[in-house]
Amino acid sequence: MSGHSKWKNIMHKKGKSDTARANVFTKLSREIIIAVKSGGPDPASNSKLYELIGKARDNNMPNDNIDRVIKKASGADDSVIYEHVTYEGYGPSGVAVIVDTTTDNRNRTAGDLRHYFDKYGGNLGQTGCVSFMFDTVGVVVVEADGVDEDALMEAAMDAGADDIRLDDDVYEITASVNDLPPVRAALEAKKYKVLSAEVEKRPQQYVTLKDPEVIEKLEKLLDMLEENDDVQNVWHNYQEEE
């Protein structure tokens, strides 16, 4: 459930079963294919591919798998064409939800998502109905153990980062989407342990829910969305009460 406590969500994903991990690899492969076909197979000149290779490694995708997907995408086989499509809607009690997908069949994906929203008390809306409530940022997560915060801040800011904050045992470094790849590369070059580097949609304001039944419906909706093969990311503005 992408949104609040992003890094905890990443750790949760990494601890999933082999079946769920294979699902993550499938989703990453689709993103890599789109990136290669639009920008070429060289990560040095294709910043999106560079970002996705890092994301794949963050999720423990083997290098052989990554190379195989890039080679496949570089070939002439265009029998399956994937595209990015973003859907927006409202969960129960008006929680704002954005769903990023890669799909080879818009009708199938839209039908699946509409069914999930309807089933759990929400509704799929028009493009732009909730996206104005979110900011799109790049976020680099660095392991905090043994790290000098001032030195990390200097390295991150020199590379183009906007902000840095400590969140439990990790540092979250924010940057513009365009500056995400160079910030990651600069920190890795200085031997910082980068745990993830991803583009996020962050809510400008969060909402809390009190009704246990509504919370259960929302969590089921988010789980159904996350488990769909076409869905890459799910963003929302729900926050659990402290």
27 close to 102: Cβ distance less than 8 angstroms: yes
Instruction: State the DSSP H helix or E strand holding residue 49, giving kind and residue range, or none if neither.
Output: helix 47-58
137 close to 175: Cβ distance less than 8 angstroms: yes
Whole-model pTM?
Answer: 0.79
Per CATH, the homologous superfamily of domain 134-203 is YebC, transcriptional regulation domain (3.30.70.980)
Domain 83-132+204-236 has CATH 3.20.20.70: no
Give the distance, in angstroms, between the CA of residue 157 and the centroid of all CA atoms in the same chain: 23
The residues, ordered by sequence, that sit 6+ positions from 15 with a Cβ below 8 Å of its Cβ are none
Residue 77 has pLDDT above 70, yes or no: no
Residue 41 has pLDDT above 60, yes or no: yes
Residue 19 has pLDDT above 70, yes or no: no
Residue 15 has pLDDT above 60, yes or no: no
pLDDT average, residue stretch 50-72: 90
Give Cα separations from 150 to 47, 79, 138, 180 (angstroms).
28, 51, 21, 20
Query: Do 83-132+204-236 and 6-74 have the same topology in CATH?
Result: no
In terms of Cβ atoms closer than 10 Å to its own Cβ (0-12, 13-18, 19+), residue 141 is buried
151 close to 144: Cβ distance less than 8 angstroms: no
pLDDT of 1 reads 44
Q: What's the CA gap between 26 and 22, in Å, rounded? A: 6
Mean pLDDT over each residue of the chain, to the nearest integer = 88
Residue 17 has pLDDT above 90, yes or no: no
Q: What is the pLDDT of residues 125-155, one digit of tens each?
A: 999 999 999 999 999 999 999 999 999 999 9
Residue 181 has pLDDT above 70, yes or no: yes
The residues, ordered by sequence, that sit 6+ positions from 138 with a Cβ below 8 Å of its Cβ are 174, 175, 176, 177, 178, 179, 180, 183, 197, 198, 199, 200
* pLDDT confidence bin for 12, thresholds 50/70/90: very low
pLDDT average, residue stretch 191-211: 92
Q: Which sequence spans correspond to the domains of the chain?
A: 6-74, 83-132+204-236, 134-203
237 close to 203: Cβ distance less than 8 angstroms: yes
Q: What is the pLDDT of residues 99-126, one digit of tens each?
A: 999 998 999 999 999 999 999 999 999 9
Q: What's the CA gap between 139 and 183, in Å, rounded? A: 10
Name the architecture of domain 6-74: Orthogonal Bundle (1.10)
